[in-house]
Amino acid sequence: MKKYTVDSIENNLVTLLPQQDESQGIIVSLSDFTEKLKEGDKLLADINTSGLLLKYQLLKRETQEEKEKNEKLLSKILKKNNTSD
């Protein structure tokens, strides 16, 4: 299985970005997932060449760690911008 990030969810389609090459999005049907997805979720997935999701596993801990890292970075940026006024 490969690691992906949920980039977007629109019109019952999910765009997944492979961790190694985020320039090549893969579109799969939202109905292939049994769990609720959100943009930014990390997951492991097997996807065949026609875009059919064979199996997947949500990486909840990795998703949470990435979210916390991004929140800290945003906070740091906002503090820096506030002190430069």
Identify the CATH number of the domain in which residue 18 sits: 2.40.50.140
pLDDT digits (tens, 9 = 90+) for 10-52: 999 999 999 988 888 999 999 999 999 999 999 999 999 888 9
How far is Cα of residue 61 from the mean position of the Cα atoms in its chain? 13
Name the domain count of the chain: 1
pLDDT above 90 covers a percentage of the chain that reads: 68
Domain residue limits at 75: 2-83
Checking if the pLDDT of 85 tops 60, the result is no
Candidates 6, 8, 52, 50; CA nearest to 29 is 52
pLDDT digits (tens, 9 = 90+) for 42-74: 999 999 988 899 999 999 999 999 899 989 999
Residues paired with 13 in a beta bridge: 10, 29
